[in-house]
Structure 1
């Protein structure tokens, strides 16, 4: 298996085990991360996000398929099943991840998923009615950022 494809396998296998330290070790010191909720500009924020999600995701199950990687770029389709803690609702989120690599590590990680689909599952009726709206996405982003900042301050 090519080196960067192995890195993707290592990352998502660790994620399913909630082994955030192994996940963090897959990132370059200059890494950035972006998805519909987070826009993280450094490895410390990325490390805090994965640590927070792994510690809080008591019933989190992660699976992945179609991992592909060359020397510079890679991708994988992954799925997260968990209970959204703020509403106690079950979520089955399907994500497409795109990577750029440097020095055998992830330097850029971008996750894409259908925010409206996610918000319907996680938030129920408000997500169904407003999940398409940038206002709801901004509210979720703001709340997630507050949670991450509190985690960075108190536990990281």
Structure 2
């Protein structure tokens, strides 16, 4: 097993335990992260996102939190993973089962420099947002609104002492 695969295993084991500090330690200083809600640059933002999401789950939904990862594979430069998260969406309190496929790039030190997660936004929005997600989840309007709110929430979280 390649060392980068061990990095992915450590990352997802920490995620299952909501251990954002260990998750953040898997990223390089110049890391990039992109998914349907976030587009982040730098370890401060990426690690901050995981800290924010883990904190919200611990305080508002640890009773239903479950993470399953599978298909973890990595070589000297790239990796991939499938993961499924069961959680309570903090904004609405609605239960979500999200299915995500991640791709990764690693630097020579074995740290993640690029992480892209992809999932079905419309499926997610129907679960997380209810009727608005059902009616508008397929539109760029709702996707952009979610992205703006996520970015604002992260900036508030990062500004806290």
Cα distance in 2, alignment partners of residues 85 and 18 from structure 1 = 15
Indicate which of 118, 124, 131 corresponds to 1:118.
124
Indicate which of 137, 144, 152 corresponds to 1:138.
144
Q: Which residue of 2 aligns with 1:76?
A: 81
How far apart are 1:115 and its partner, in Å?
0.3
Cα distance in 1, alignment partners of residues 53 and 91 from structure 2 = 13
Cα distance in 2, alignment partners of residues 78 and 119 from structure 1 = 18
Q: Which residue of 2 aligns with 1:37?
A: 37
How far apart are 1:62 and its partner, in Å?
1.2
Indicate which of 94, 98, 112 corresponds to 1:93.
98
Give the number of aligned pairs: 155
Q: Which residue of 1 aligns with 2:14?
A: 14
How far apart are 1:2 and its partner, in Å?
1.4
1:102-143 deviation digits (Å, cap 9, x = unpaired): 021100000000000000000001100100000000000011
Q: CA RMSD in A?
A: 0.8
How far apart are 1:48 and its partner, in Å?
0.6
How far apart are 1:39 and its partner, in Å?
0.2
Cα distance in 1, alignment partners of residues 47 and 116 from structure 2 = 15
Q: What TM-score results when the alignment is normalised by the length of structure 1?
A: 0.97
Q: Which residue of 1 aligns with 2:67?
A: 62
Cα distance in 1, alignment partners of residues 66 and 29 from structure 2 = 27
How far apart are 1:8 and its partner, in Å?
0.4
Cα distance in 2, alignment partners of residues 29 and 41 from structure 1 = 9
Q: What TM-score results when the alignment is normalised by the length of structure 2?
A: 0.94
